[in-house]
Chains A and B, each alone.
Chain A
Amino acid sequence: MIGGPTAVATPETSERPPETKLTPGEWVRKNLFSTPLNSLVSILFGAGLLYLLVGVVGFFITADYQIIRVNLANFVVGRFPRDQLWRPVFATGILSVAVGLTAGGLTIRAEALARETGSTFRRSTPGDWMRRFWPLLLMIAVMLAFTTTVTPTLVSLGVIGSGVVGNYLGRLLPAGARRWGWSIPLLGLAVAYLALSGFGGLDWNQWSGLHLNLFLTVAGIVFAFPLGLALALGRRSTLPTVRAISVTYIEFIRGVPLITLLFMAIFALGFLLPEELRPGNVTRALIAITMFEAAYIAEIVRGGLQGVPSGQVEAAQAVGLTPWKTMRLVVLPQALRHTIPAMVGQFISLFKDTTLVTIVGLTDLLRVSNQANAQPDFLGQGLHFVTLAFVGLIFWVGSYTMSREARRIERRLGVGER
C-alpha cells in the first residue's frame, strides 16, 4: 500500500507560543460577562457587594478608636503591673531569638539536604519574608498605630531585630545540631517563663489579656503532647485494659464541649482535691485544656502511626531492635512528621478555643473587649463593633498566618492530599 517509511522534515527552531495574555477589557468580559446569566449575576452581586463595602469601609473610617488607644496595654497584657512591662518585652525578645535560631537551623538543614540530593535551594530574602508574613506585619502596624508614644514601635523593631539576629546565629549552627536542636524552642520558653514570673515576677495565675491566650495555647500544647502521645500508643496497645482505658478517655473527652471541662476544672476540681491543694484559676483552666487537647492530639498521632507502613516495623524487628527502640527510632519520627500539618491545625484550633476561658471568669483578650466597653468613658456607646473588630483582627491574623504556614509545610513534606 505504501512506499518505504517516510521522514517528515523537522522545523529548525521552536516558535513562540501564541499570545494568551488578556487585556483588562477581555479579562472582565471573560470572567464576569461571559454569558447572559453571568452578566446578570455580576451586576446584581456587584451592586450588593459595593453597597456592603461602602457601608463597612465608611464605618471604619468614621469610627472612634479612642477606646482602643486607651486600652491597648490592657488588650495585650491585661493587668500586668505597668512598671514591670520589661518582663513581657524581654520574654518576647527571648522567644523571638529562639524562633530565629530554629528557623536559621532549619534553613541550614534544608540547604545541606538540597546539596546532597542535587536540588536547588534558594535563601529567603527579606522581601520573601515580608510577602510571606504580610498579614502579621500589617497587624503589628495597626496595633502600633494606636500607640501614643514611640516606645512600643522601638520595642517591636527590637523584637523583630532580635529574631533576625537569632536567624543569623542559627545559620552558624553545625549541621549536627539536629539532635539537640529541638530543645532550643523549649529552652526559650523556659527562659521566657522565668522572665515573666521569676525573681519577683507575676505568677501565671495573674496573667491576662492576649498574653494569657498565648500562654494557654503554648502551654496547652506542650503539656498535652506527651499525654496525647501516651494515649495514642495506649490505644494501639495489644493489652486490652490499657487499650480500654485509652479509648474510654479519648471518646469521652471528644464527645463533650471544652466548656464542660472548664466548668469541671473551675467549679468541681476543688472537690476532687484535698483541702491543701487549691490551684489558681489559670492553672485549673490549663488542666482542663491539657486534658481536652490530649484526646485530640491522640487521634492525630494515631492517624500518623497508621500511616507508617507495617513493613517498617518488620524491618526494624528483623534487624533486632527492641520494641521501644523501634518506636523511638523508626516509627515515631516518620509518624510525627506526617502529623505536622494536623498538629498545626490543632494549635490554631486551640488558639481560638482559649477564648472560652472568658466564660469562666478569666480575663483573656476577648473579656478585655467587654471590660473596655464597660468602662465609664465608653459605656453604652456601641463601641463593641470597634473593640471586637480589633480583637477579631488579632485572632484572624494569628489563625490565617499559622494556616498558611501549615499548608507550606504540607507542600514541602509532600504529605496531605494527593
Chain B
Amino acid sequence: MTADTYTDATQAAGEAMIQLEAVDKFFGDFQALKDINLSIGQQEVVVVIGPSGSGKSTLIRCINRLEKHDRGRVVVDGIELTDDVKMIQVVRRETGMVFQQFNLFPHLTVIENVTLAPRNVRHIAKQEAEDLAMTMLTRVKIPEQAHKFPGQLSGGQQQRVAIARALAMQPKVMLFDEPTSALDPEMIKEVLDVMEELAQSGMTMIVVTHEMGFARAVANRVVFMSDGQIVEVGTPEHFFTDPQEDRTKLFLSQIL
C-alpha cells in the first residue's frame, strides 16, 4: 500500500486536520467505501470528484458521523469518531456541512436559522449571535434577507444562507456535499464565488462537486473516486493535464 506522499508533507507542517485510515463502509451487502486512506491538512481545500455511486458523499458524511464507518479510523482534529456520543457532538461542532438540498429550516427566518445553533449549543447571547449572523450573511452577500423566510428566497440565496448557517458555528472544517447540484445554472456562480472567497480566507474545505472549473481554480488537491475507492489524488495542474490511472482518464474524457 503506497502511502500518500502528501501526508509526509503535512506531518511536517503539523497534525493533519482530518485523517481517514483504512475506512470501509457497507450498506447491507454493498460496499460503498473500500479501504479509504486520506489525510487532509489545515487550510487545505480538497475537491472530491467521481461518477455517481462512487462513494463521494458517503466519504464526507462519515467525517461528521452522518454515516457510521464500519472499519478503519476516522480522526477529526485529533478526535477519533467512535460510538462515544459526546465526542461525536464535539466533532460536529467543529465541522460545518452544506447540503445539496440546502435543508434550511422552513419555519424559521434566515437569521433564526443562522443563530439557532450558536445560541443553543455554544450558548452565545442573543445580540452577539445576531451580530455574528449578520457578519456571516454579509460575507455571503445577502444581509438584507435576514428577516425573510427560506421559502421566499431563490435557490442560490438559500444555499448561501446554508453556508452562513454552517459558518456561524465557526467550524474548523467545512464540508460541502454537491452544493450546486440542485441549483439553476445562473445561480451556481454566486455560490461558487462565496466558496472561493472562503477558501482564500484559509478555511479547511472538502468539497464534493461536479464543477471542474472550481476544482481547477481553487483546489489544493483533487481526489478522484470510483466504485468506493480513491483512484487517484493530485494537484489540479497534474490531475487535469496528466492523469495517471486509466479510470481517471476515462472519467475526464467524458466530462471535459
Contacts and interface: CB of A to CB of B under 8 A. Distances in A.
Contact of B71 (A2, A7, A18): A18
Contacts of A3: 5
Contacts of A320: none
Interface string B199-230: 00000000000000000000011000000111
A343 B205 CA distance: 52
A101 B87 CA distance: 62
A239 interface: no
A5 B235 CA distance: 7
Contacts, number: 67
B120 interface: no
B4 A8 contact: yes
Given A1-B9, A7-B244, A17 B26 contact: yes
Contact of B242 (A1, A4, A7, A8): A4
A4 B2 contact: no
B5 A5 contact: no
A151 interface: no
Contact of B235 (A2, A15, A18): A2
Interface string B1-29: 11011100100000000000000101011
B56 to A, nearest CB: 15
Contacts of A6: 2, 4-6, 232-234, 244
Given A14-B34, A17-B28, A17-B29, A9 B238 contact: no
A10 B231 contact: yes
A2 B9 contact: yes
A10 B36 CA distance: 10
Dominant SS at the B interface?
mixed
Interface string B227-252: 01111111100110011110000000
A238 B197 CA distance: 55
Contacts of A1: 6, 9, 220, 235
Nearest to A8: B230
Contacts of A17: 26, 28-29, 31, 70
A11 interface: yes
Interface in B53-78: 70-71
B242 A5 contact: yes
Given A10-B231, A17-B29, A17-B31, A5 B243 contact: yes
A17 B34 CA distance: 11
A260 to B, nearest CB: 40
B37 interface: yes
Contacts of A5: 232-235, 238-239, 242-244
B234 A4 contact: yes
A130 to B, nearest CB: 28
A14 B233 contact: no
B35 interface: yes
Nearest to A1: B9
A18 B229 CA distance: 18
Contacts of B233: 5-6, 8
A23 B245 CA distance: 44
A18 B243 CA distance: 34
Interface in A44-60: none
Interface in B145-204: none
A15 B33 CA distance: 11
Contact of A15 (B5, B6, B31, B234): B31
A2 B34 contact: no
B31 A7 contact: no
A11 B29 CA distance: 17
Interface of B: 1-2, 4-6, 9, 24, 26, 28-29, 31, 34-35, 37, 70-71, 220-221, 228-235, 238-239, 242-245
Given A1-B9, A5-B234, 20 more contacts: A1-B235, A2-B5, A2-B234, A4-B244, A5-B242, A5-B244, A6-B6, A6-B233, A7-B245, A8-B2, A8-B4, A8-B231, A8-B232, A9-B1, A11-B34, A11-B35, A14-B228, A17-B31, A17-B70, A18-B71
Interface of A: 1-11, 14-15, 17-18
What are the 9 tightest A-B residue pairs by CB atom distance, in nearest-first order?
A5-B234, A17-B26, A5-B238, A14-B31, A8-B230, A18-B70, A11-B35, A7-B244, A4-B238
11 contacts: A1-B6, A1-B9, A4-B234, A5-B234, A5-B243, A7-B244, A8-B229, A8-B233, A14-B228, A15-B24, A17-B31
